[in-house]
């Protein structure tokens, strides 16, 4: 839009990579165990089993990492001086572009863990009762604050 300026952008929080990290650490721990335990016990079957489990953990890490990486790269959350813009997804794209005058509120949900690490779910409520939740957003309170600031500015600072 002409005269529109982006005032704030954010992305998905790094917490979306946590499952992949856990699987990766499990795989590394199993590989280390595969080298340490068999030499102490002289049992190659144990080493082979640990190698197999480490491989499975590695595959699980990749399986968890790829969707998280795609989600991180393709998700955009922004506030302009006129609109709230949210775009999520790659193959199945979900997009929300709402004029600030049509936004009734931005709800923020955070668990204790989410508060500690700085992420949460924002739900954009538009006029007419439409509710659009977006999960695992970095700095959701800042996002809401920026929407409120721009909304007030658009109304002439009332």
What is the pLDDT, as a whole number, of residue 148? 93
Q: Where are the domains of the chain?
A: 6-13+75-154, 15-71
What is the pLDDT, as a whole number, of residue 62? 93
Q: What's the CA gap between 71 and 87, in Å, rounded?
A: 10
What is the pLDDT, as a whole number, of residue 157? 61
**18-41 and 44-74 helices cross at what angle (nearest 10)?**
170
CB contact at 8 A, 97 and 77: no
Per-residue pLDDT tens over the stretch 32-73: 887 777 665 666 777 788 888 888 988 999 999 999 999 999
Q: Where residue 154 falls among pLDDT bands split at 50, 70, 90? A: confident
Q: What's the CA gap between 6 and 79, in Å, rounded?
A: 6
pTM for the whole structure? 0.82
What is the pLDDT, as a whole number, of residue 1? 73
Per-residue pLDDT tens over the stretch 93-146: 999 999 999 999 999 999 999 999 999 999 999 888 889 899 999 999 999 999
CB contact at 8 A, 85 and 96: yes
- Which of the following CATH numbers is that of domain 6-13+75-154: 2.40.37.10, 3.30.559.10, 2.30.29.30, 2.40.30.10? 2.30.29.30
């Amino acid at each position: 839009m002409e005269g529109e300026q982006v005032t704030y952008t954010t992305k998905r929080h790094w917490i979306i990579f946590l499952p992949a990290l856990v699987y990766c650490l499990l795989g590394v721990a199993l590989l280390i165990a595969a080298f340490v335990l068999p030499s102490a016990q002289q049992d190659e079957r144990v080493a082979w089993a640990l190698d197999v489990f480490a491989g499975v953990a590695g595959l699980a890490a990749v399986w968890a990492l790829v969707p998280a990486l795609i989600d991180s790269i393709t998700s955009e959350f922004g506030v302009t001086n006129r609109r709230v813009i949210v775009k999520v997804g790659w193959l199945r794209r979900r997009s929300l572009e709402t004029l600030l005058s049509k936004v009734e509120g931005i709800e923020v949900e955070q668990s204790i863990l989410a508060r500690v690490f700085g992420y949460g779910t924002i739900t954009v409520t538009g006029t007419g009762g439409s509710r659009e939740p977006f999960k695992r957003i970095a700095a959701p309170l800042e996002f809401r604050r920026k929407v409120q600031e721009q909304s007030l500015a658009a109304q002439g600072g009332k």
